[in-house]
Structure 1
Amino acid sequence: MESDEARASAPVVEDVFDGIATGVEVEDIGESEGAIERPWNPEQIRVSTGSFSLRNILDQIDEGSLELAPDFQRGRVWKLDQKSLLVESLLLQIPLPAFYFAEDAEGAFHVVDGLQRLSTLHSFVRGGKHSFALRGLEYLKDAEGALFSDLAVQWQRRINNTQLIVNVIDPTTPPGVMYDIFKRINTGGTPLNAQEIRHCMSKDRSRGILKRMTHTREFSKATNALTDHIRMNDREMALRFTAFWLLGIDEYIENPVMESFLIRTTQLLDNPSVLPDVSVDALEKTFRAAMRKVYLLFGEHSFRKWPNYSTSRSPINRALFETWSVAVADYALGDLEHRKEQIVQAARDRMTRDITYLDSITSSTADRRRVSYRFNAAAEDVAAGL
């Protein structure tokens, strides 16, 4: 059986995407992963199927009635050869897999599955800053190097008239069920993670709030420039702070499913009648202040595991982010500065000796007991020296 000393000194595993380290520790959220309101009532799932020309869909994108998830950078990471082969498939009249859209209460559509394909086709046909020339074609060598405007008129017409099969999720489908549908049907080369799915499901208001929170000097300094993270971990961290700050840990303990908790928070941010602009301003101000306070205490080790025996800097730990950003929020900056040495030592001692605490920020991090333990521990440590 593994000793406490071995567990305490176990190496921290950094998440990697497309061969590049992301700066964020791998998180094991535990059994609550995907545990949203099951079993479903089949009558809650309403999906209709239709056929639309590519021209019609591109027109909807340009009009704004079909949204390609703004700020979703990973949706455009296909290599040029991949994009070109997709266009070649249309020219060869090879049917594409079905697309999934979600309709919201206002009648707008959001892409659930097929974001990369639609982004690629929109860029090629309608141009703009992401326009590209075909390269690496397998059959239609005469089109090598061609822009859409270079293609023969009959080929342009063939692309525009391509019929796409679209499954539309009705807006009456409950958010939790819709979230799970996103997870089930996502067929991209790299499946969307939880925050990427929430981003695709959400509205401009919540996206704007989370973007502003993570595009501040305070956040960038405390996280060592994590802003615009390729897997949207920066937005998820801001959302987690928002969830525990606005809804409170007690509400999470009553319904300990992280996905549901964060979906409810996203809906709250999207609803100005429930969370007016003045409350959003207060939230953003509190968040910026929390980033300053944590950085004052921990410097380059902010939100990272930092036991007494460690001299290197670990990747950011999401569980530490949510607990410490909330823990310091109500304290004055001057008070924390006065007690900095005691607070930091208390936190480092805990990361060195408290195996239960290390477990709470490493594995099964959505478990209600572990969430409660790490929040209580951070509250005790930030009170050191009082």
Structure 2
Amino acid sequence: MKNSTNDITYEQLTSQETELQEEEEEEEEEEESSDFFDPTKIRITTKQITMDLLIKRIEYKEINLNPDFQRNANIWTDKAKSRLIESLLIRIPLPAFYMDATEEDEWLIIDGLQRLSTFKSFILDEKLVLKDLEFLKELEKNKYSDLSRNYKRRINEAEFIVYLIEPGTPPKVKYNIFRRINTGGLPLNLQEFRQAINPGKAIKILKELANIPEFQKLTSFSQKRKNRMVDHEFILGFIAFTLISYNSYSSDKGRDDFLDQAMKRLNKIDENRVQEIKNKFIFAMKAANNIFGEDAFRKIRKITEDGKRKYPINKALFESWSVTLSDLSEQELETLIERKENVKEVFIKKMEDDSNFLESVSQAATKVPYRFDTIKEIIKEVLSC
């Protein structure tokens, strides 16, 4: 029997999802962190640093221009880079840099990656040739080595404000600092924050799994979304619920904290367990492909007169289906593949008749145990036919 009309309906929760598909399947709204922010634990120092010193640190790899939480270094056009250099030449002050100085020998760039990459390209690598300048037209087609001593001095003696997050700053406080930094471009999203404060083998594992053909085929994320680590967050969701039972999920702490804990655990587990997780992930991706094909990890509804609507890939469904499928035996999977049309029919019926289930898969952070239990019920029902 269907839920009452006072309950949330299939149409109410899915009426706007066509727009999501048309706008490159935008991510769900991220949770606000409810962690207590203790201002007494903030350790940030401010320094005035010359270009000479910055370049020396870059040259000796004492500033990391390839942080694991950003894939988008050197995305500026040559025109934008040239205009930045021109700003230095005409002595226009530039925005401050933010860096994590936890490791004295390797500062991690948090905000200002494009600017530092431009400085490296122009001064150290001499790959940038100035073009499309606004004021100093006579310097177009010049490399750094072509500049007069006067202009080189202006660049090398330029001073910048650098905010350094010092050693001893607790990770949670650092996390909150990262969230508040947005001096230009796109602010770091939650997965980028997560990878920034949890460096180590976990990031390597996420990268490796993101390159698995079956995963790429089923998700088809755009390069733009990959650049923002969206694929990594989906994979981390699978790993989180593989390492930590969904029954241990705390709605009070939220999904954000749950994924943070998974990153920390992933950095500590042994190689045998890592390989087991990889095998389960690959098994789940192949299983989803064989059962659902292009409908894997998406909401599905019956074909109507308007035709079939393809919904965006869904975090909640990705986690619940992939983790549950990964626990199947080979025989159980073979049976589900043989009865894949039954799987889809039961799934669609649950989506249409059970408003609690629909709500649980419409937001990744809500009613987590309910959606996992429902997916298990679907599989159990089909296997018992």
TM-score (norm 2): 0.86
Is 1:133–1:146's contact at 8 Å kept on the other side of the alignment? Answer: yes
Provide the C-alpha distance between the structure 2 equivalents of 1:60 and 1:262, rounded to a whole number of angstroms. Answer: 33
Structure 2 counterpart of 1:148:
144
Query: Aligned-pair distance for 1:167?
Result: 1.0
Counterpart position of 1:355: 355
Equivalent position of 1:382 in the other structure? 379
Structure 2 equivalent of residue 341 of structure 1 = 341
Q: Quote the sequence identity (%).
A: 35
* Cα deviation, residue 225, structure 1: 5.9
Secondary structure in structure 2 of the residue aligned to 1:168: strand
Q: 2:297 is matched with which residue: 290, 295, 303? A: 303
Contact 1:342/1:384 (<8 A) preserved: no
Aligned mates of 2:381, 2:316 — CA distance in 1: 20
1:328 is aligned to 2:325 = yes
Query: In the aligned structure 2, how far is the partner of 1:195 from the partner of 1:55?
Result: 33
Q: 1:246 to 1:104 in 2, by over 3 A?
A: farther
What residue is the counterpart of 1:44 in the other structure? 41
Mapping for residues 1-386 of structure 1, pairs under 5 Å = 4=9, 6-7=11-12, 9-13=14-18, 21-22=23-24, 24-29=25-30, 33-38=31-36, 40-68=37-65, 69-70=67-68, 72-104=70-102, 108-127=106-125, 131-224=127-220, 229-253=226-250, 255-270=252-267, 274-309=268-303, 311-339=308-336, 340-363=340-363, 365-367=364-366, 370-386=367-383
Contact 1:53 1:162 in 2 (8 A): yes
Amino acid at match of 2:134: E
1:5 is displaced (CA, Å) by 5.2
In the TM superposition, what is the alpha-carbon distance from 1:288 to its structure 2 partner?
1.3
Distance 2:99 2:18 in 1: 35
Assess if the C-alpha contact under 8 Å between 1:36 and 1:177 holds in 2.
no
Instruction: Provide the rounded CA distance (Å) in 1 between the counterparts of 2:18 and 2:192.
Output: 21
Q: SS where residue 117 of structure 2 aligns?
A: helix
Deviation at residue 214 of structure 1 after TM alignment:
0.5
Is residue 251–residue 365 contact of structure 2 (8 Å, CA) maintained in 1? no
Structure 1 pair 126–247 and aligned structure 2 pair: CA distance change class (3 A): farther
TM-score by length of 1: 0.86
Which protein has the larger Cα radius of gyration, Structure 1 or Structure 2?
2
Distance 1:327 1:106, change over 3 A: farther
Find the aligned partners of 1:287 and 1:102 in 2 and give their Cα distance: 33
3-state SS, counterpart of residue 50 of structure 1: strand
Report the alpha carbon displacement of residue 331 of structure 1 after superposing the two structures with TM. 0.4
Distance 1:70-1:127 versus aligned 2 partners, 3 A rule: farther
* RMSD over equivalenced CA pairs, Å: 2.7
Change (3 A) 1:306 1:67: same
CA distance in 2, matches of 1:215, 1:34: 30
Amino acid in the other structure paired with 1:149: S
Distance 2:138 2:149 in 1: 14
Shift of 1:105: 5.7
Structure 1: runs of 5+ lacking an equivalent: none
Instruction: Give the 3-state SS of the residue equivalent to 1:171 in structure 2.
Output: coil
Q: Describe the SS at the equivalent of 1:250.
A: helix
Equivalenced residues, count: 370
Residue aligned with 1:138, SS: coil
Query: Cα–Cα, structure 1 residues 320 and 173, in superposed 2: closer, same or farther, change >3 Å?
Result: same
